[in-house]
Amino acid sequence: MNRESKKIRNKRIRCAGAACMLIVILLCGCEEQEITKTVPLSNETEEEAEGIDVKNIQEYIYEGNVIDITWSEEAAGKLCLIKGLENRGILQWVDVYQKTVSEEIVFEESMIGYVKTAPGGRFIAYEHEAEEFRELIVYEVESGEKEAVMTWNDWSTIYRMEWSDDGSKLLVWTDIEESGENQDIGGERIMYCYDMESEEKLSSQVRIPVNGKMWRGMYPNEDASRVFIDEEYYTEEYDWGEENTEFENEELEGDGEDYISELKAKEKNWLVDMETKEVREVDIVRTNIGIPIKYTKRGLFGIDEGKLWLAREPLGQVSGKRLLETKEEDVCICENGDHIFLIEKEEGTGYLQVTGILLEDGEIKEYQVLYKGVDGNFEMPFFKTFIGKDDHELVICSIEHDLWHMNMKVLEY
Q: Name, in order, each residue with C-beta under 8 angstroms of 327's C-beta and a sequence gap of 6 or more.
A: 306, 342, 344
Q: Is residue 23 in some structural domain?
A: yes
| 293-304 per-position pLDDT tens digit | 999 999 999 988
Largest CA distance in the chain: 84
Tell me the three-class secondary structure of 256-325, residue by residue: HHHHHHHHEEEEEEEEEECCCCEEEECCHHHHCCCEEEEECCCEEEEEECCEEEEEECCCCCCCCEEEEE
Q: Is residue 369 part of a domain?
A: no
The rounded distance, in Å, linking the Cα atoms of 299 and 297 is 6
101-115, 135-149, 317-331, 345-359: the lowest-pLDDT one: 317-331
For residue 61, give Cα distances in angstroms to 79, 80, 120, 163.
13, 15, 21, 27
The reply to whether 208 falls in a domain is no
Inform me whether the pLDDT recorded for 59 exceeds 60: yes
Peptide bond into 40 cis (omega under 30): no
Judge whether 38 lies within some domain: yes
Maximum mean pLDDT: which of 13-22, 91-100, 201-210, 398-407: 91-100
The Cα–Cα gap between 166 and 219 comes to 14
pLDDT at 406 over 80: yes
Contacts of 338 (CB under 8 A, 6+ apart): 298, 358, 359, 360
How far is 292 from 269, CA to CA, in rounded Å?
A: 11
Query: Is residue 113 in a domain?
Result: no
Q: 156-178 burial, b if ≥16 CB within 10 A, otherwise e? A: bebbbbbbbbebbbbbbbbbbee
Alpha carbons 213 and 51: distance in angstroms, whole number: 45
| Residue 261 phi, psi (nearest 5) | -65, -30
For residue 311, pLDDT beyond 70: yes
Residue 407, amino acid: N
- If DSSP codes are grouped into helix, strand and coil, which group holds residue 333? strand
Strand, helix or coil at 244? helix
Lowest mean pLDDT among 57-61, 176-180, 336-340, 349-353: 176-180
Beta strands in 313-404 (DSSP E): 321-325, 331-333, 339-345, 351-360, 363-374, 382-387, 393-399
Closest listed residue to residue 358, CA positions, set 344, 338, 374, 372: 338
CB 280 within 8 A of CB 318: no
What pLDDT sits at residue 291?
A: 87
Comparison of pLDDT for 237 and 76, the residue scoring more: 76
**C-alpha neighbours within 13 Å on the C-beta side of residue 18:** 8
Contact predicate 210/221, CB 8 Å: no
- Name the domain count of the chain: 1
Considering only residues 290 and 24, tell me which one the structure prediction assigns the higher pLDDT.
290
Structure confidence at residue 33 as a pLDDT band (50, 70, 90): very low
Q: Is residue 359 part of a domain?
A: no
CB contact at 8 A, 297 and 336: yes
> Is 217 contained in some domain?
no
Residue 313, pLDDT above cutoff 50: yes
Contact 378, 350 (CB under 8 A): yes
The model's pLDDT over 170-202, given as tens digits with 9 standing for 90+, comes to: 999 876 554 344 444 456 788 899 999 999 899
Specify if 18 maps to a domain.
yes
Phi first, then psi: give them for residue 51, nearest 5 degrees: -125, -150
Q: What is the pLDDT of residue 173?
A: 85
- 262-267 long-range contacts, CB within 8 A, separation 24+: 263/234, 263/235, 263/238, 264/232, 264/233, 264/234, 265/211, 265/233, 265/234, 265/235, 266/232, 266/233, 267/230, 267/231, 267/232
Taking only the tens place, the pLDDT of each residue in 81-107 is: 999 887 789 999 999 999 999 999 999
In this structure, what are the phi and psi dihedrals at residue 366, rounded to the nearest 5 degrees?
A: -140, 150
Q: Is the pLDDT of residue 353 over 70?
A: yes
User: In terms of residue numbers, what domain contains 23?
Assistant: 1-49
Q: Residue 128 in contact with residue 111, Cβ under 8 Å?
A: yes
Q: Compare 335 and 315 and report the one with higher pLDDT.
A: 335
Spatial neighbors of 361 by CB under 8 A, at least 6 apart, are: none
pLDDT tens-digit map of 231-287? 876 655 544 444 444 333 444 444 444 444 444 456 788 999 999 999 998 887 777
DSSP helix/strand/coil, 245: helix
Q: How far apart are CA 99 and CA 80, in angstroms?
A: 14
Sequence-distant (6+) residues with CB within 8 A of 157 are 113, 174, 175
